[in-house]
């Protein structure tokens, strides 16, 4: 039976340092640092596991202690990590600095090992949906798309950043869902940022069913082909740490979609999950399911 979510993407160890007060550049700011597993693909899989969805992560980690820890924590969230490759070398890292308000100041991601992810034999016969992390290289995304098309499995795509969206723009077509912000949708279509509505229409023309346009604290627009766009407000939240909000949001949408929810109701769950995540120090909040239950 087709019931699995297959998430294909990166796994990192995140080093996230939050300054105690206003961040002052080029000096040593007092603060607090946490080290915990991250990576867009791995975060989505971990959140889905916590929400009770049958989820398999297809990823790669190094043969180091970070890789061991990332696998252990992700499995403890309920995700199947049997298809995560352990390659010789160091696990990917994401090193971020947050200001005293929990907002991102700057970050460096070093995930060269993700290039070692071979996707020639991606088995999707039991998959209900495939989620693709935009950190993958174009050739890897093309392979996932080919496998999904071959087994008729819908694909959701997380663009990650403007630079990454730009290099994958040709591959963003015939999707169930894509989740850009206005800058990323502009990178996908080549239109000016202000013309995001026209960009959304372009993506619909390319066979994308749902474009979920994110606007940070301003909420999001769920734009479904052939329907009027629906605006969803972000929930009021005290920002503790913004890391991983977008990943939790997408995971909650997929979990709701799997249960048969319509795209707007699923997006509401997504905003609950984002608020839960930014309101906690965790990149993936262990009590996410309890939090969503209380909201609904
Ligand atoms: N300052 C904020 N206040 C309230 N909610 C926020 C804030 N920043 C982000 N969010 C929530 O987190 C979601 C994801 O944030 P966004 O910045 O759009 O994506 P990403 O985490 O991928 O950069 C938003 O849609 C919103 O629900
Ligand atoms: O180039 C990248 N930046 C960031 C991430 C990951 O994204 C998460 C932060 O997500 P968000 O941008 O939604 O806050 C972190 O766990 C980090 O490891 C990544 O995989 N690749």
Condensed to tens digits (0 to 9), the pLDDT of residues 194-207 reads 999 999 999 999 99
> How many domains is the chain partitioned into structurally?
1
Atom of ligand 2 nearest to the CA of 133: 20
User: How far is the centre of ligand 1, averaged over its atoms, from the C-alpha of 183 (Å)?
Assistant: 14
> What range does the domain containing 51 cover?
4-295
Q: Are 98 and 88 in contact (CB under 8 A)?
A: no
Q: Is the CB of 237 under 6 A from ligand 1?
A: yes
Going by their DSSP bridges, the two strands 92-98 and 12-19 should be labelled as parallel
Q: Is the CB of 278 under 6 A from ligand 1?
A: yes
Among protein residues, the one with the nearest Cα to ligand 1's atom 19 is 246
Task: Evaluate if residue 296 carries a pLDDT over 80.
Answer: no
Ligand index nearest the alpha carbon of residue 220: 1
User: How far is the centre of ligand 1, averaged over its atoms, from the C-alpha of 89 (Å)?
Assistant: 33
User: How far is the centre of ligand 2, averaged over its atoms, from the C-alpha of 153 (Å)?
Assistant: 25
**ipTM associated with this complex:** 0.96
User: How far is the centre of ligand 1, averaged over its atoms, from the C-alpha of 278 (Å)?
Assistant: 8
- Report the CATH number that the domain containing residue 234 is assigned in CATH: 3.40.1190.20
Among protein residues, the one with the nearest Cα to ligand 1's atom 23 is 246
> pLDDT tens-digit profile of 226-258?
999 999 999 988 888 889 999 999 999 999 999
Q: Is the CB of 246 under 6 A from ligand 1?
A: yes
Among protein residues, the one with the nearest Cα to ligand 2's atom 18 is 39
pLDDT at 163: 95
Q: What residues line ligand 2, using a CB cutoff of 6 Å?
A: 10, 12, 14, 38-40, 43, 94, 109, 111, 135, 242-247, 283
* 295 — pLDDT class (breaks 50, 70, 90): confident
Which residue, among 263, 267, 237, has the nearest Cα to 250 in the 3D structure? Answer: 267
The pick from 16, 46, 244 for probing ligand 2's pocket by mutation, whose C-beta has the most ligand atoms within 8 angstroms, reads 244
Task: Evaluate if residue 137 carries a pLDDT over 90.
Answer: yes
* 120 — pLDDT class (breaks 50, 70, 90): confident
């Amino acid at each position: 039976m087709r019931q699995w979510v297959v998430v294909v993407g990166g796994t990192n160890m995140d080093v996230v340092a939050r300054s105690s007060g206003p961040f002052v550049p080029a000096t040593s700011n007092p603060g607090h640092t946490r080290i915990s597993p991250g990576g867009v693909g791995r975060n989505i899989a971990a959140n889905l596991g916590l929400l009770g969805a049958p989820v398999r992560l297809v990823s790669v980690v190094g043969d180091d202690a970070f890789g061991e820890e990332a696998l252990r924590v992700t499995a403890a969230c309920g995700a199947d990590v049997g298809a995560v490759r352990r390659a010789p070398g160091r696990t990917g890292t994401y090193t971020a600095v947050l200001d005293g308000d929990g907002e991102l100041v700057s970050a460096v991601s070093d995930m060269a090992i993700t290039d070692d992810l071979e996707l020639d034999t991606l088995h999707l016969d039991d998959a209900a949906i495939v989620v693709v992390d935009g950190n993958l290289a174009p050739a890897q995304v093309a392979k996932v798309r080919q496998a999904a098309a071959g087994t008729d499995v819908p694909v959701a795509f997380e663009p990650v950043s403007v630079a990454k969206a730009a290099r994958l723009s040709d591959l963003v077509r015939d999707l169930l869902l894509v989740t850009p912000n206005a800058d990323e949708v502009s990178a996908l279509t080549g239109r000016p940022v202000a013309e995001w509505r026209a960009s959304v229409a372009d993506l619909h023309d390319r066979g994308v069913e749902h474009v979920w346009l994110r606007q940070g604290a301003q909420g999001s627009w769920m734009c479904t082909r052939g329907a009027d766009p629906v605006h969803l407000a972000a929930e009021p939240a005290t920002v503790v740490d913004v890391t991983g909000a977008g990943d939790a949001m997408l995971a909650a949408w997929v979990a709701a979609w799997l249960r048969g929810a319509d795209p707007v109701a699923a997006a509401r769950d997504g905003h609950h999950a984002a608020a839960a995540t930014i309101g906690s120090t965790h990149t993936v909040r262990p009590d996410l399911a309890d939090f969503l239950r209380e909201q609904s």
